[in-house]
Chain A
Amino acid sequence: MARLTRMTLSIILFLIAWEGIARSGLTLISLFPPPTRVLAALIEMARSGELVRDVRASVWRAVLGFVLGSTVGIATGIVTGRIASVSNYLSPIIQLFRPLPPVAIIPLVIVWFGIGEVSKVFAIAFAVFFPVWINSHAGAREVPQTFIWSAGTLGVKGFRVLWRVILPAALPFVVAGLRTGVSLAFIMVFVSELAGASAGVGYQISVSYLAYRVDRMMAALVLLGLLGAAADFLLTGLTWRIFPWLRLAVIK
């Protein structure tokens, strides 16, 4: 509980300082609005229905892109991590794409898929794929040989080993990749919505920018931050609930 108090206290102090500086007259209120104004903008957006519309649009894209990118990433990583012949051919190609900042593919994706949902979801999935693949690959490769031998003597062989041994054994790595993937998904949601959308938190920021409504821009930023934090919280909470052993240390 002490931790919670400390967290609340630090946030409150931060807000008070922000409010104080914004209202001190040292800065222009229209350019640097105080948190009360930002809150008012947020309430305005909630009343008009924009907030729900934007959050829903952004979350939907992020979730869809994340699920697609991480599913393909995990599957690819498990295969390239375990099957050398596949890895030999596939890894160089994937490594070639890896140093590419995912944001840079957005113009190309728009040319291919237009500015609709497909291009956004694709761009997000593309970005999420890499950290998930690399971590799953590393995790699958690190699985102790004795796990696989034990499984074999217990009658679990061939393809079933991937599912019953490799995947769970690689899970700590996979989860680390997923967490990176979540934060990337939110970056990509924002950027892809800047590039053209009719709803979404990123869209809200770009529209408010054109209208010079700094309070609304900040409100949307707060929203984006909250969404990202909530997504990470949900992901770790969910993995710990489903896989309680991930929180435990190794054998004493």
Chain B
Amino acid sequence: MADLPVAQTRGYQVMEGAQIQVRGLRVRYGQNEVIHGVDLQANDGEFVAIVGKSGCGKSTLLHALAGFIEREGEVQIPENVGVVFQNYAVFPWLTVRGNMNFGLHAMNATEQEGVVERLLEMTGLSADAAKYPAQLSGGQAQRVALGRALAPDPDVLLMDEPFGALDMYTREKMQGWLLDIWEKQSKTVLFVTHNIEEAIFLADRVLVFGNGRILAEFCVPFGRPRTDKLKFITGFIELKKQIVDTMEGN
């Protein structure tokens, strides 16, 4: 975990056993094409971050991958996908427990209770299980959202600026917390953010997105588990600078 030279790979290689494989993904709004042929893949258990400026279409890319909007191209993605949004999207009419239970209708009551108890503990919300989302802080609400998304044990987790609405302090705590959970659960994660530091800190690989296409791909050479200290080492800052340059088009 020193000042390693950063490997930059451009282009697309097919990997065997990739859990998400996308080729030539396009999205149109009417006549207007907003995503122009994206290729990407993510391996089982890999944490991939997609960074880009606000309004560059990175959320649209995620929505297309999730199948929320019309898309063209070849997309292989598991059926069982969990999604977390920036605006939490936790249901205000359900308690914390009710939200986490929402996707468990296929299980019997005992199984449901077991899963929800485990998620409450994992998210540190056991004491708040009976509260409604309006009674929670933004960070707590986002933990509910993540708990709810993880409840049906999805193969892939898609996260759209999940910490974008949080203050910096809460944001950093949530990043550490998310890494903890990810290391235990080993889900494949696609994480969209405009925050480059966040992307490097969390991910194995960072895809830089702009003007509706992937501009570059960076492997993050730092080992795990990672701590906040990582953000101050030269290699981290160097990588951040390279990504900024790519985004600026230099």
Contact = CB atoms under 8 A, between A and B. Distances in A.
A89 B81 CA distance: 36
Interface of B: 63, 66, 68, 81-83, 85, 87-94, 102-103, 105-106, 132-138, 141, 148-149, 151-152, 154
Given A156-B102, A251-B141, A147 B132 contact: no
A169 B93 CA distance: 7
Contacts of A144: 87, 89
What are the nearest 5 A-B pairs in CB distance?
A154-B103, A248-B134, A146-B89, A168-B93, A245-B132
A251 B152 contact: no
Contact of B105 (A155, A171, A250): A155
Given A155-B103, A155-B152, A150 B134 contact: no
20 contacts: A147-B89, A149-B63, A149-B66, A149-B83, A150-B149, A153-B83, A153-B149, A154-B103, A154-B148, A155-B103, A155-B106, A164-B102, A169-B91, A244-B132, A245-B132, A245-B133, A248-B92, A251-B90, A251-B137, A252-B138
Contacts of B94: 168
Which of the four size classes fits the interface of chain A?
Answer: 20 to 34
Given A146-B85, A155-B152, A156-B102, A251 B93 contact: no
B132 A248 contact: yes
Interface of A: 144-147, 149-156, 164-165, 168-169, 171, 243-245, 248-252
A5 B94 CA distance: 37
Contact of A245 (B93, B103, B106, B148): B93
Contacts of A252: 136-138
B77 to A, nearest CB: 12
Given A146-B87, A171-B93, A243-B93, A151 B134 contact: no
A145 B133 CA distance: 18
A150 B135 contact: no
Q: Helix, strand, loop or mixed for chain B's interface?
A: loop
A47 B170 CA distance: 68
Interface centre among A149, A151, A154, A244 (most CB of B within 10 A): A154
A88 to B, nearest CB: 19
A154 B102 contact: yes
A245 B92 contact: yes
Nearest to A171: B93
A248 B93 CA distance: 10
Contacts of B63: 149
A165 B89 CA distance: 11
A171 B149 CA distance: 24
B105 A245 contact: no
B102 A151 contact: yes
B133 A165 contact: no
